[in-house]
Amino acid sequence: MEIKPLEHRFSVCKVRDYSQVNFQEEFCFTGRTDEEFSLVCQTDHVPENTAERDDGWKAFRIQGILDFSLIGILSGITALLADHNIGIFAISTYNTDYILTKEEHFKRALEILAASGYKVG
């Protein structure tokens, strides 16, 4: 399985609404519930109407399109990182999964995955 590191820095945010979110940006992940409007975006593109934010995240994606019948891909990676005390923030899209770690753990996370047989590139 191939892991592709992304070059960008990301922020995890709670926004008041999505009126200032630029949905045309390369990476823009949203989630809305009865309690909040969440946003994960490049740190350079955090909107002004952000109520709370947590900066300092880096991301990688599981390369390729994952079939919905595949089981355990995300849990295998997250368990491996948890065993090494690396916290994650996971995002699933229709095609694949993205995993964010804090910047200070990112390089080590990739090294752990590579040593465990994942192709990191």
pLDDT tens readout for residues 45-92: 999 999 999 999 999 999 877 666 666 688 899 999 999 999 999 999
Claim: this prediction has a pTM higher than 0.85 = yes
Higher per-residue pLDDT: 14 or 1: 14
**Alpha helices, H only, the chain:** 73-83, 103-115
Average pLDDT, the chain: 94
The CA-atom distances, in angstroms, between 62 and each of 6, 12, 96, 103, 113 are 11, 20, 6, 18, 11
